[in-house]
Structure 1
C-alpha cells in the first residue's frame, strides 16, 4: 500500500469504527510540548511536582525511536444522555468513557480499529483515552492535527465543545493527515471559566494551578482538602469537576437528550454520595472505581468515601439534602 493510500485508509477506517474525526501528524509535531510544560511550570512554580510526573510526554521520540507518526481520534460524548442526579458530582468524561465498559459497542469498535492497524502490518502503541497520561500528550496532539483548539480553561475543543474522548496511537510509518481548524478563539473579554473555578485553579487564561484544582484533589489527591483551600470550595464534586467547562458558551448542550450510556442508569443510585458512604469496599471496587477511568485506583476506595462525606457535610451546612444539591 502506498503512503497516500495508507493515510486515507487510516482516516476512513477510524471513521467507520465510530470515531467522529481523525488526524495524523509526524511525531516531530509533538516537539513543542516540552516548551508548553516549561511555560506551565514557570507560570505556576508550585505546580512543578505535578508536571514532572508527565515529563515523559515531552520525550516521545526518545522513548519510542521507532515511531514515525501519531494517529489522533476524537469522539464526542454529547451523544449520550447524562443523568441530572450525577451532574455536579462526577466529571462527565469519566462516566461516559466507553473504555469503562469493555463489552459496549463503542469499545468493541475501538478494538476493531486496533485490529485493523495490526492487520496492515503497522507497529503501534497507545489506545489511551482521557485516562491519566501514558505516552502521548493527547490534547496537544489533537490541536496539532487541526482537530480543534485550546480554550482559556486549557481543555481541547472541537466543533461541538470540549466533551470529547481523545485517543492516540504511535505508528511506525510516516503519515500525515491534518485538518484546517476554523474555530474562533475565546473572546479576550471572556472570564467565565475563571469565575466559575471556585478554587481559583484557573489563575490566568490558558494556564492553571493543578494543586488548586478540584478534579485533582478528588482523584489523585485522594479526596483531601489542602490547607490553602476549603471544603466549601469543592461544593458537591465527588470525582472530577466540570465547572469551567459547563459555564463555557462553547459548551451549550442539553444533557437530558441522547442515548443512554451502557449501564449508567442502573448504576445511578450507587453513585450518590450517601450510598457511596455506606457501600462496601468490594462493591466500590467492582462497580464504581472502574468508572473513574483510572483516576482512582482499586486500593483507594476511601477516596470516594472521603469526598462523599465532605459533600454530605456541605449539604447539611447549607440545610440542603442530596436530592436537592446544586
Structure 2
C-alpha cells in the first residue's frame, strides 16, 4: 500500500501525461461553508429555469453521498483558449470560445476514463467516478479547495498562470491522497472589470451571478422566448458569452491550447453574419455535428439569431 504522498505524486504525474494543465487534490467531505451560500442563491431564484440545480442538494455539497466511500476529490484543469479567435468585433455574430470545436464533455470524459485505468495500473484497485460538468458537483469550489485558484467576482475560477479560459473536471475516488493547500487569497482585489462590462447586469454582487440574467443562460439554458428587456444588450452573442472573461486582467496570461479537437470547423472560420442568418438545418448539422451548439438544437440557435436581428 502506497502512502498518501506517493498517491498524490502519481495522480499529478498521470494528469500531466494526459495533457491536463493542472491537478489539485482535496479531501472529500461536506462543504460546510457552501451550504448557506447555495441555499441563498437558490432562494433568490438566480438559477432561472435551471431547476436541476436545486436537485440533489445534499449530494451537491457532499461528494461522499455521490460516491460512497470517497476519500479524495481530484480537480483538473484543461485549457481551451484558442490560438486564433473567430471574429469578435462589434458587428460580428459571436459564440463562446469553448464552443469553437468538439463538445468538451466527450473529449475530456475520454481522458478521465484513461485516467482511472492508469490509476488502477499504477496504484491498484481504486473505485470512483469521473465528472465533467455532468453531475451535482461544485467543481469551482473543489478546485479552489485543492489550490487551483480562487473564485472571481464573475464566480469563475481564476488561476494566476492561466486566467479562466479552461474546463474543470473531477475524479471522486476512494483513494487516500495528500491534499493540497487551498488558495485563501482573493487576487481580484478592487478590480470590477467583469461587473462593469456585463451588459445584462448579471453579476449581482462580487462572486454571485444571477444566472437568469446571464447571456450564456439566455442563449443556451432558457427554452422559452428571450425576455424583451434584454433587447439591445446581447452584444451579438448567439451561444454563450465571454465578456466577463475577455475583460479580466488575469486572462492576459491565457496561452493557446494544444487540443486538435477544439480547433473550429474550417467552414465556421469563414462564417459571415449573413451565413449565420441564412443557415439551414442541414448546414447546422454538418458544421456543428460534434459541437456543444447541438445543445440548443437548430431551433434554439435560430431563436437567438432572430432575437439579435430584431434588435436592429
With normalisation by structure 2, the TM-score equals 0.82
Q: For residue 124 of structure 1, what is the aligned residue in structure 2? A: 128
Q: For residue 320 of structure 1, what is the aligned residue in structure 2? A: none
Q: For residue 140 of structure 1, what is the aligned residue in structure 2? A: 141
Matched, 1:67 2:70: yes
Q: Report the alpha carbon displacement of residue 22 of structure 1 after superposing the two structures with TM.
A: 0.8
Q: Residues of 1 paired with 2:159 and 2:280: CA distance?
A: 40
After TM superposition, the structure 1 stretch with the greater mean CA deviation from structure 2, 58-67 or 159-168, is 58-67
Retained in 2: the 8 A contact 1:67–1:170?
yes
Q: Report the alpha carbon displacement of residue 212 of structure 1 after superposing the two structures with TM.
A: 0.8
Q: For residue 150 of structure 1, what is the aligned residue in structure 2? A: 151
Q: Report the alpha carbon displacement of residue 198 of structure 1 after superposing the two structures with TM.
A: 0.9
Q: For residue 81 of structure 1, what is the aligned residue in structure 2? A: 83
> Deviation per CA, 1:29-81, whole angstroms, max 9, x where unpaired?
53433233123235x34547644147342243223222221111112333x31
CA-based RMSD: 3.1
Structure (1/2) with the larger helix percentage = 1
Q: Residues of 2 paired with 1:83 and 1:170: CA distance?
A: 34
Q: For residue 322 of structure 1, what is the aligned residue in structure 2? A: none
Q: Residues of 1 paired with 2:180 and 2:254: CA distance?
A: 30
Structure-to-structure mapping, 1:1-326, within 5 angstroms: 1-4=1-4, 5-28=6-29, 30-42=31-43, 44-45=44-45, 47=47, 50=50, 51-53=53-55, 55=57, 56-78=59-81, 80-85=82-87, 89-95=94-100, 99=104, 102=107, 109-119=111-121, 120-128=124-132, 131=133, 133-159=134-160, 160-179=162-181, 181=183, 184-188=186-190, 190-222=191-223, 224-227=225-228, 229-252=229-252, 261-262=260-261, 263-269=263-269, 273-285=273-285, 287-288=287-288, 290-292=290-292, 296=295, 300-314=297-311, 317=312
After TM superposition, the structure 1 stretch with the greater mean CA deviation from structure 2, 113-122 or 150-159, is 113-122
Aligned residues: 301
Cα–Cα, structure 1 residues 144 and 161, in superposed 2: closer, same or farther, change >3 Å? same
Retained in 1: the 8 A contact 2:199–2:233?
yes
Cα–Cα, structure 1 residues 281 and 265, in superposed 2: closer, same or farther, change >3 Å? closer
Structure 2 portions without partners, runs of 5+: none
Structure 1 portions without partners, runs of 5+: 318-326
After TM superposition, the structure 1 stretch with the greater mean CA deviation from structure 2, 81-90 or 193-202, is 81-90
Q: Residues of 2 paired with 1:306 and 1:48: CA distance?
A: 18
Q: Residues of 2 paired with 1:254 and 1:27: CA distance?
A: 30
Retained in 2: the 8 A contact 1:100–1:293?
no
With normalisation by structure 1, the TM-score equals 0.79
Structure 2 residue matching 1:232: 3-state secondary structure: coil
